[in-house]
Amino acid sequence: MKSDIKLIDKEGKRLDGRKRDELRPIKIEVGPLYRADGSCYIEWGGNKILAAVYGPREALPRHIQHPLRAVVNARYNMASFSVEDRKRPGPDRRSTEISKVISEALEYVILTEQFPRAMIDINIEVLDAEAGTRCAGLTAAAVALADAGIPMRDIPVACAAGKIDGQVVLDLGKEEDNFGEADLPVAIAPRTDEIILLQMDGHLTVKEFDEAIELAIKGAHVVSELQKKALLAKYAVAKEVKQ
């Protein structure tokens, strides 16, 4: 999609005033839900997303059980009022695909072999959508998993980079997503920088890709620190109060 909107000005300032390597504001809250075994609420720019974890628990129906490890089942869902034109409730092809790639990404970091025949359900509910919901959703899901005490080899985290007006920038906003030239959502295990989710659409040269993925990974590391800060705010502070 091409448009006349100028997405980035001569000084490198974007529509919402951000610099090219700047994230939208991010707020993370740990444990807002009562019934779930672990939960997280994230605001990332205009995105508002809740993630909840149930399990590990007996995998049902039994035929989905794996004899040697837990099955990881993420479900990404958009509330019907979360987008400009009301979305019909329930899964569509897009949310089914996103659920699949997020499940696979999270499965890599969870020590699933500790829970044979069990399943771990991760529910991601997009309440208000702006752009980059899969990255924000995965980031929230990772915090909810840590909140649920589910053993992981790392706390995964996601961030996107993209291309607007021929320039590689971090974390596309709404108009940038609509009118930009490329979007590259990436999720990593931040300690090793292993890439666990990678998608791209649009048009990038190999050189631009190199630049974009480096930028996305750098952004993910910033988000990773916010995840840890939120977890410590709940648990380390709670502990001090107790003592």
Q: In angstroms, what CA-CA distances link 52 with 11, 38, 152?
A: 41, 6, 16
- The nearer residue to other proteins, 41 or 179, going by C-beta atoms, is 41
- The nearer residue to other proteins, 81 or 94, going by C-beta atoms, is 81
- Positive or negative, the Cα torsion across 120, 109, 40, 180? negative
User: What residues contact 166, with CB distance under 8 A and at least 6 apart?
Assistant: 181
The radius of gyration of the chain's CA atoms, rounded to the nearest angstrom, is: 18
- Contact between 154 and other proteins by CB under 8 A: the answer reads yes
Cα 118 to Cα 16: distance, rounded to the nearest angstrom:
45
- Contact between 81 and other proteins by CB under 8 A: the answer reads yes
User: Which listed residue (90, 93, 206, 207) binds other proteins by CB under 8 A?
Assistant: 90
User: Which listed residue (153, 178, 205, 233) binds other proteins by CB under 8 A?
Assistant: 153
User: Which listed residue (58, 97, 210, 214) binds other proteins by CB under 8 A?
Assistant: 58
Burial of 51 (0-12, 13-18, 19+ CB in 10 A): buried
Range in contact with other proteins (rule: CB under 8 A) among 8-16, 20-28, 86-94, 164-172: 86-94
User: Which residues contact other proteins by CB under 8 A?
Assistant: 33-38, 46, 48, 50, 52, 54-58, 70, 75, 77, 79-86, 89-91, 109, 111, 115-118, 121, 123, 125, 127-129, 146-155, 189-191, 228, 231-232, 235-236, 238-239
